[in-house]
Amino acid sequence: MVPDPAPYAPPIGLTSAAAERLLGEVGPNLPPDRPPRSTVKRVVDQLRDPMLLLLQAAAVLSALLRDWPSTAIIVLVVVFNTTLGVPAAAAGRSRHGRARKAVSAHRLRAA
């Protein structure tokens, strides 16, 4: 018994002429250029990290309970983490920085 041949599927997609027309009308299919994030934006993004939000809440709770040594230690940890995290994001050593570098590399290859 011989299996039935696969059904023929006509090619689907844009013709070369349609692709060239769209390229002229819309432009290349590239991600938009975005300016680098400011230092203030990177600090805010760093402080909005879920773990740091938890530490900030713990610092507020410690302060409300007047446990000043714990409050000071938690605040120092938050400041230390932010101080290390913001330059890492700017240099591309963070998740967002690596993604930004990958998009830039893709733009260069596609251009």
Is position 19 within any domain?
no
Is position 103 within any domain?
yes
Q: What is the mean pLDDT of residues 81-103?
A: 75
Q: 11 pLDDT exceeds 80?
A: no
Is position 8 within any domain?
no
Do the Cβ atoms of 59 and 74 come closer than 8 Å?
yes
Is position 6 within any domain?
no
Q: 111 pLDDT exceeds 70?
A: no
> Counting every residue, how long is the chain?
111
Domain extent, residue 55, equals: 37-110
Is position 26 within any domain?
no
Is position 89 within any domain?
yes
- The total number of structural domains that make up the chain: 1
Give the model confidence (pLDDT) of 14-63 as tens digits: 888 988 999 899 888 777 777 877 888 888 988 999 999 999 999 999 99
Alpha-carbon distances, residue 20 vs 14, 59, 68 (angstroms): 9, 59, 67
pLDDT of residue 69: 96
DSSP string, 73-86: HHHHHHHHHHHHHH
Alpha-carbon distances, residue 25 vs 30, 106, 109 (angstroms): 14, 22, 22
Q: What is the mean pLDDT of residues 2-8?
A: 74
Is position 104 within any domain?
yes
Sign of the torsion formed by the C-alpha atoms of 45, 50, 55 and 56: positive
Is position 43 within any domain?
yes
Give the model confidence (pLDDT) of 64-90 as tens digits: 999 999 999 999 999 999 888 887 766
Q: 94 pLDDT exceeds 70?
A: no
